[in-house]
Amino acid sequence: MPTALDIDRFLQGSGPILDVRSPGEYDRGHIPRAVSFPLFTDEERARVGTCYKQVGREAAVELGFDIAGPKCGEFVRAAKALAPDRHLRVHCWRGGMRSGGLGWILELAGFKVVLLDGGYKAYRRWVRQVLATPKPMVILGGMTGSGKTQILHELAALGEPVLDLEGLAHHRGSSFGALLLPPQPSTEHYENLLVDQWVQYPGDRPIWLEAESRRVGTCRIPDELFAQMEAAPAVEVVRSLDERLDLLVEIYGEASTEELVAATERIRKRLGGDRTPTAVAHIQSGNLRAACAIILDYYDRAYRYDLERRQRVIPQLDITGLSPAESARLLVEKLPRLCPPLAPQVLTQNLQP
Rounded to 5 degrees, φ, ψ at 123 are -60, -40
Residues paired with residue 4 on neighbouring β-strands, in sequence order = 115
Q: What is the pLDDT of residue 350?
A: 39
Most confident of 173-177, 263-267, 337-341: 263-267
| 122 and 155 inside one domain | no
Length of the chain, in residues: 353
Is the pLDDT confidence value at 347 over 70? no
pLDDT of residue 203: 80
C-alpha closest to that of 92 among 147, 22, 169: 22
Same domain, residue pair 164 and 242: yes
Please give the tally of structural domains in the chain.
Answer: 2
CATH for 51: 3.40.250.10
- Residues 255-282: what's their mean pLDDT? 93
Question: Contact 115/13 with Cβ under 8 angstroms?
Answer: no
Domain boundaries, position 337:
134-254+292-351
Instruction: Note the pTM of the prediction, 2 decimals.
Output: 0.91
The band of 346, judged by pLDDT with boundaries at 50, 70 and 90, is: low
Residue 333: Cβ within 10 Å count = 14
Same domain, 220 and 311: yes
Active site residues: 92
The pLDDT of residue 94 is 92
Q: Using one digit for the tens of pLDDT, what is the confidence trace for 91-114?
A: 999 988 899 999 999 999 999 999
Residues 198 and 297 occupy one common structural domain: yes
Alpha carbon distance 162, 201 (integer Å): 9
Does 187 share its domain with 143? yes
List strand residue ranges (DSSP E) for 58-156, in order.
Answer: 87-91, 112-116, 137-141
Residues 89 and 8 reside in one and the same domain: yes
pLDDT digits (tens, 9 = 90+) for 74-97: 999 999 999 999 999 999 999 888
Predicted pLDDT of residue 348: 41
Question: Which pLDDT band holds residue 68 (cuts at 50, 70, 90)?
Answer: confident
Looking at the structure, tell me whether residues 147 and 181 fall in a common domain: yes
